[in-house]
Every structure is written in C-alpha cells, then in structure tokens.
Amino acid sequence: MESDETGKNAVHLLEEAGHRVSSHVIVPNDTSKIHEMYTRFLIDPEVQVIITSGGTGISSKDKTVATVSSTLEKLIPGFGELFRRLSFEEIGHAAMSSRATAGTIHGKLIFCLPGSKGAMETALREIILPSLGHMLWELNR
C-alpha cells in the first residue's frame, strides 16, 4: 500500500479527539475513482463526515475539489476562507492557490483538504475539530 503520512496523521488526530474513523483509503487523482470513493461513504448510514486529503491545488492533476463540488448541496464558504487565512499566516501568498472547501451532501459533511501534513493539521486542529460537534448538530436539526 502507498504511504500516506498525512492521512495517517489525520486519523490519529480525529481518534485522539474522540471520533471514530471507519475507513482510511488511498484514491488516485482520477475523477471516477474519487466519485466512486465518496459515493460509497455517502450511502453508509454510519458515516457522518467525509474528509479528503489532496487534489485541492490548481494543477491539472488536482481533481478532488472539482469532482466533489459538482455534487455539493450546500457549500460552506466560511471553511475555505478561514483555512486560507490561517494558511497565509503559515505559508504566505501560496495559500491563495488552495481550493480547500467544505460542504454538505445527503446530510453529511465533506471537507476537501490539501495533501500536506501541515495543512491537514491546521484544518483539523484550528477549524474542523473545534466546530465539528456544532456543525453536525446544525446539519441534523
């Protein structure tokens, strides 16, 4: 299996915060494979949140955001805005190249995060983990 230190670290952070991670898979930057992966989680009643890592840049190989965004029911623009602001403090102007995004699909939250370990940690520690309980409450009321 390919090495995915960013994904492994994300699983660790989520579990450390008391969340159960039901699956951790590696998917190539291929539109149909990405769609197949998150569709599988959308139909699983146990899954409340989907987090992707990678494919959020501006290169031609970055397919995740375009694939996921086309099916979002509601965009959560504040997530991407806040993430880029925090990233700017860490990496400067390169932060504007991130298309990190979040939204809802079929009553589930989905976060598309960059593939770098630092970016994933920033998103989880500073934004997602502190607000996840409230976001799920809002989504399910």
Tens-place pLDDT, residues 32-41: 999 999 899 9
Q: How many domains does the chain have?
A: 1
Structural domain containing residue 52: 5-13+30-139
- Apex 12 CA angle, 51 and 96, nearest 5: 45
pLDDT tens digits, the chain, 141 residues: what are they? 356 889 999 999 999 999 999 989 989 889 999 999 989 999 999 999 999 999 999 999 999 999 999 999 999 999 999 999 999 999 999 999 999 999 999 999 999 999 999 999 999 999 999 999 999 999 999
Question: Is 22 domain-assigned?
Answer: no
Tens-place pLDDT, residues 103-132: 999 999 999 999 999 999 999 999 999 999
Q: Which CATH number do you get for residue 65?
A: 3.40.980.10
Question: Is 47 domain-assigned?
Answer: yes
- In this structure, the strands spanning 101-105 and 49-53 are unpaired
| Type of residue at 112 | C
